[in-house]
């Protein structure tokens, strides 16, 4: 079984339990190939939803999910996109390698989303070397992701 950089199984969609191609909740924006079905989708679609409402509106055709590929610039390490556990939001405005593509206020809003997710999601703007400010990824195992997915479902239930 191949694994992506974060340790999640990677491969064609039928090998990783399928992909969820639902639109980001409350929007018509889709992540073209979707994200890993189940708790990962719950968490990453929540991140995209909160990004849309509290950071900046999502633009159609500029957001990405699953892609079976290696990390750009690496000959061997599979990208977390290859396990369906990473998303890119408003990619053209926040290109790989660029720094400072978000205002201070927007970064504060991103921090609030990450805080809600209790360390299960990492932002590419926090990479130490090459920044990837469009990018959000799961960095914890399934058990912890499940807890955050339940927390999101509870929050939705109480809001709805
Ligand atoms: Zn990415």
- Whether 44 shows a pLDDT value over 90: the answer reads yes
Q: Which domains does the chain have, with CATH numbers?
A: 13-159 (3.30.1380)
pLDDT given for residue 157 in this prediction = 84
H helices of the chain, in order, are: 39-54, 104-116, 142-159
Q: How many CB atoms lie within 10 A of CB 12?
A: 10
Q: Tell me: the pLDDT tens digits for 122-156? A: 999 999 999 999 999 999 999 999 999 999 999 98
Please tell me whether the overall predicted TM-score, pTM, comes out greater than 0.85 for this model.
Answer: yes
Whole-number Å distance, alpha carbon 86 to ligand 1 midpoint, is: 6
- Say if CB 118 and CB 111 are below 8 A apart: no
pLDDT class for 5, splitting at 50, 70, 90?
A: very high
Confidence tier at 158 by pLDDT (50, 70, 90): confident
% of the chain beyond a pLDDT of 90: 89
The alpha carbon of 135 and the centre of ligand 1 are apart by a number of angstroms equal to: 4
Mean pLDDT, to the nearest integer, of 78-83?
96
User: Distance, CA 152 to ligand 1 centroid (Å)?
Assistant: 23
């Amino acid at each position: 079984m191949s694994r992506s950089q974060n340790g999640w199984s990677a491969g064609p969609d039928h090998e990783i339990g399928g992909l969820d191609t639902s639109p980001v909740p409350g929007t018509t924006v889709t992540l073209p190939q979707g994200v890993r079905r189940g708790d990962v989708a719950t968490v990453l679609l929540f991140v995209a939803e909160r990004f849309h409402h509290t950071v900046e509106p999502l633009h159609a055709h500029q957001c990405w999910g699953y892609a079976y590929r290696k990390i750009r610039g690496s000959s061997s390490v599979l990208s977390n996109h290859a396990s369906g556990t990473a998303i890119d939001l408003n990619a053209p405005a926040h290109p790989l390698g660029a720094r400072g593509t978000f205002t201070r206020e927007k970064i504060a809003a991103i921090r609030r989303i990450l805080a809600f997710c209790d360390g299960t999601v990492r932002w590419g703007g926090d990479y130490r070397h090459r920044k990837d400010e469009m990018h959000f990824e799961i960095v914890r195992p399934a058990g912890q992701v499940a807890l955050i997915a339940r927390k999101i479902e509870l929050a939705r239930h109480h809001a709805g």
